[in-house]
Amino acid sequence: MEYNQFCPVSKASELLGERWTLLIIRELLMGARRFSELQRGLAQISPTVLTKRLSELAAKGLIVRKRIPGQRGYEYFLSQAGKELMPVIRALGDWGMKWARGRMENSELDVELLMLYLARSIDPSKLVGDETIIRFTFPDLKRLQKWWLLVRGDNVDVCLEDPGKEVDVRFDVDLRTMIEIWMGDRSYRSAIRDGKLKLFGPPALTRSVTDWMANSVYAGIAPATEI
């Protein structure tokens, strides 16, 4: 879309104003590289629309597409112009936490997005040993009820299939409560006290969850109605 104005806000809007564009930038800033990784973080986007948006972003110079060696697919990287959108995305999220969020609707409770974010929030250096297995069970869900995070070295993988290894830390929690915890709207202690969360594992790990699995970068920003 062209606004035909010299204003830099309108020129930026021409580049970034299409639906899904800012969320694709968000995912790339958070480390997504492959088409499947982008789809995982944008569950409602169709493959056709994602392909189109990636082509547009490449044509506009915001991303660079590179073929994966020995494979048919591509990896996507932000250009310098794309990387410099980090403070823009951060400021937009800050504004959204303050002015645009209310009570989360059930339709917004996305377990796949939550697990992707939890995996990205883990700091392997704060865990013990070369491998840690973390299991989440969401008893309120009819499907996608059990998840595993496999931490090996510096890599964190999200699994829906039981890896067949001993679990180090187990979370039994409903989806809304876990999202509220990660967003900073509820503490682990209050969720456990209210019976919303059961946390199992060695005390050295269960008592230091926020050390090795951080909350959202937007946690702590109160909505405007509470200011």
Tally of structural domains, the chain: 2
CATH number at residue 65: 1.10.10.10
Query: What is the distance of C-alpha 1 from the center of its chain?
Result: 29
pLDDT score of 226 = 66
pLDDT score of 70 = 85
pLDDT score of 169 = 98
pLDDT score of 178 = 97
Residue 204 shares a structural domain with residue 110 = yes
Residue 69 shares a structural domain with residue 146 = no
Domain boundary among 77, 100, 123: 100
Q: Is residue 3, in this structure, part of any structural domain at all?
A: no
pLDDT score of 183 = 93
Q: Is residue 217, in this structure, part of any structural domain at all?
A: no
Residue 125 shares a structural domain with residue 87 = no
Question: By residue range, what is the domain housing residue 36?
Answer: 8-100
Please say whether the beta carbons of 118 and 148 come within 8 A. Answer: no
pLDDT score of 227 = 58
In tens digits, the chain (227 residues) has pLDDT values of 788 788 999 999 999 999 999 999 999 999 999 999 999 999 899 999 999 999 999 999 999 999 998 888 899 999 999 999 999 999 999 999 999 887 778 888 999 999 999 999 999 999 988 999 999 999 999 999 999 999 999 999 999 999 999 999 999 999 999 999 999 999 999 999 999 999 999 999 999 999 999 999 999 898 887 65
pLDDT score of 2 = 82
Tell me the whole-structure pTM to 2 decimals. Answer: 0.87
Domain boundary among 83, 100, 117: 100
pLDDT score of 102 = 75
Q: Is residue 225, in this structure, part of any structural domain at all?
A: no
**pLDDT (tens digit, 9 = 90+) per residue, 166-213?**
999 999 999 999 999 999 999 999 999 999 999 999 999 999 999 999
Residue 48 shares a structural domain with residue 116 = no
Nearest C-alpha neighbor of 165 from the set 180, 150, 175: 150
Q: Is residue 61, in this structure, part of any structural domain at all?
A: yes
Q: Is residue 1, in this structure, part of any structural domain at all?
A: no
Residue 199 shares a structural domain with residue 145 = yes
pLDDT score of 71 = 85
